[in-house]
Amino acid sequence: MRKNWTLLLALLLSVGMVLAACGGGADKEEETKDADKGEEETTTDFKVAMVTDIGGVDDKSFNQSAWEGLKAWGEEHGIEEKKGFDYAQSNDKADYMPNLTRLIRDEYNMIFAIGFELKEDLNKVAKQYPDTHFAIVDDVVEQDNVASINFKEHQGSFLVGVAAAMKTKTNKVGFVGGVDSPLISKFESGFIAGVKSVNPDIEVDVQYAESFGAADKGKVIASNMYNNDIDVIYHASGGTGNGVFNEAKDLKKNDPDRDIWVIGVDRDQHEEGQIGDHNVTLTSMVKRVDVAVHDLSNKAMNGEHHGGEVLEYGLEEDAINVATTNEDAMTQDIIDAVEDWKEKILSGDIEVPKTREETEKFLEAL
């Protein structure tokens, strides 16, 4: 009897060992799957961030467009803000370097510097951190780990110049720039060329606020222009342009029958011009910074960093266009004229100037 119990115990132990072995194999298989899954998640753990210029992420213009592109990238990949993408707000030029280094420290794989004013600081950190990938918008940094994103703003500025020339009743239009620089000179040059191509007799008043974040200065400049019979102002000034819109809306509120217009920049700024039943936004020169940021983030995520390259976006790439949201203001004759001039640019019949020197030669040839 004792022998039988011994045999039964041995049998049970054997069965238990077999079951344990099978169970252990299953557990190990699951562990392997989990490990593979974890490894897969690690390879797609790509983080992107951006540093604004002093206009801020809610400037309703350049920085905001870039941020919208980054948010679209995060949404596309199911990535949460703060965890996989983020921005660092710059309220002063002194913030650029600390913001860049903080994002590097937080191990973001791709960092965008939004605006040419970050060039100097980005050039320094790119040398110090060669394993981090960067991109700058609206300038060129000659480093192997920096992609440079530029736009043909002069093309779009020419087209809104056409719209301004056809809309003005006083034959006086204005241009408000942020910081006087080679970049903003492209906006100014294209705008003047577009206006003068329609009517050489139209006066164009050009003024600079010397800041992209001074709405108060923008309002004062706009007030002076509108008081001098200018009825259309094109701004290329980031957050400073909010002051231009505020002044136009104040004047429209006090005199609803007055024809007074603002041409927005970078984004379709139609909403910024709304005041009651009226809208003072004639059109906007839309520069798709959001598309460029979204596109380059995807490329970097896939290992295409384009470091050391200059990427340029224009009418040909549908990265520059003219908004027609305000149907009451952008009448069909204006839209048709803009399209006609657009075809001339695309065909090469017109080479739009992008510097003041080129503009002088362009006007001499009219």
Spacing of C-alpha 197 from chain mean position:
29
pLDDT at 23: 45
Task: Say if CB 75 and CB 15 are below 8 A apart.
Answer: no
pLDDT tens series, the chain, 366 aa: 444 444 444 444 444 444 444 444 444 444 444 444 443 333 358 999 999 999 889 887 889 999 999 999 999 999 999 999 999 999 999 999 999 999 999 999 999 999 999 999 999 999 999 999 999 999 999 999 999 999 999 999 999 999 999 999 999 999 999 999 999 999 999 999 999 999 999 999 999 999 998 999 999 999 999 999 999 999 999 899 999 999 999 999 999 999 999 999 998 999 999 999 999 999 999 999 999 999 999 999 999 999 999 999 999 988 999 999 999 999 999 999 999 999 999 999 999 999 999 999 999 999
β-bridge pairing 146-151 and 133-137 = parallel
Alpha-carbon gap, residue 344 to 346, rounded angstroms: 6
Same domain? 75 vs 97: yes
Same domain? 73 vs 169: no
Which amino acid type is present at position 173? Answer: V
Same domain? 253 vs 175: yes
Same domain? 62 vs 129: yes
Sequence-distant (6+) residues with CB within 8 A of 345 are: 155, 158, 159, 315, 352
Tokens 């420290």 locate to 105
In a domain, 292, yes or no: no
From 121, 151, 181, the end of a domain falls on 151
Structure tokens at 184: 């903003």
In a domain, 312, yes or no: no
DSSP assignments along 2-44, one per residue = HHHHHHHHHHHHHHHHHHHHHHHHHHHHHHHHHHHHHHHHHHT
Alpha-carbon gap, residue 226 to 218, rounded angstroms: 12
| Residue 136: strand pairing partners | 113, 148
Same domain? 180 vs 142: no
Q: What are phi and psi of 207, to 5 degrees?
A: -140, 150
In a domain, 73, yes or no: yes
pLDDT at 43: 39
Same domain? 137 vs 159: no
Same domain? 235 vs 358: yes
Q: Domain containing 143: what range?
A: 48-151
User: What does the radius of gyration of the chain's CA atoms come to, in whole angstroms?
Assistant: 28
Same domain? 191 vs 223: yes
Alpha-carbon gap, residue 62 to 57, rounded angstroms: 8
In a domain, 316, yes or no: no
CA distance to 69, 122, 177, 184, 278, per residue, from 180 (Å): 27, 21, 7, 6, 32
Which amino acid type is present at position 250? Answer: D
Q: Is 278 helix (H, G, I), strand (E, B) or coil?
A: strand
pLDDT at 111: 98
In a domain, 219, yes or no: yes
From 151, 171, 186, the end of a domain falls on 151
- CATH number of residue 211's parent domain: 3.40.50.2300
Alpha-carbon gap, residue 155 to 174, rounded angstroms: 18
Task: Name the helix (H) or strand (E) containing 208.
Answer: strand 203-208
* Number of separate domains in the chain: 2
CB neighbourhood size of 44 (10 A)? 10
The CA-based dihedral angle spanning residues 163, 169, 170, 176, taken in that order and rounded to the nearest 10 degrees = -30
pLDDT at 55: 83
CA distance to 177, 243, 286, per residue, from 219 (Å): 12, 4, 22
Same domain? 64 vs 142: yes
Residue 119 exposure: Cα atoms within 13 Å on the Cβ side: 12
pLDDT at 7: 46
Alpha-carbon gap, residue 335 to 354, rounded angstroms: 23
Same domain? 141 vs 230: no
In a domain, 309, yes or no: no
CA distance to 65, 93, 123, 179, 244, per residue, from 264 (Å): 13, 25, 31, 16, 10
pLDDT at 44: 53
In a domain, 39, yes or no: no
Same domain? 188 vs 91: no
From 151, 176, 205, the end of a domain falls on 151
Same domain? 351 vs 235: yes
Task: State if pTM tops 0.85.
Answer: no
Q: Which of 120, 107, 1, 116 is nearest to 55 (CA)?
A: 116
CA distance to 70, 284, 365, per residue, from 326 (Å): 27, 10, 33
CB neighbourhood size of 95 (10 A)? 18
In a domain, 96, yes or no: yes
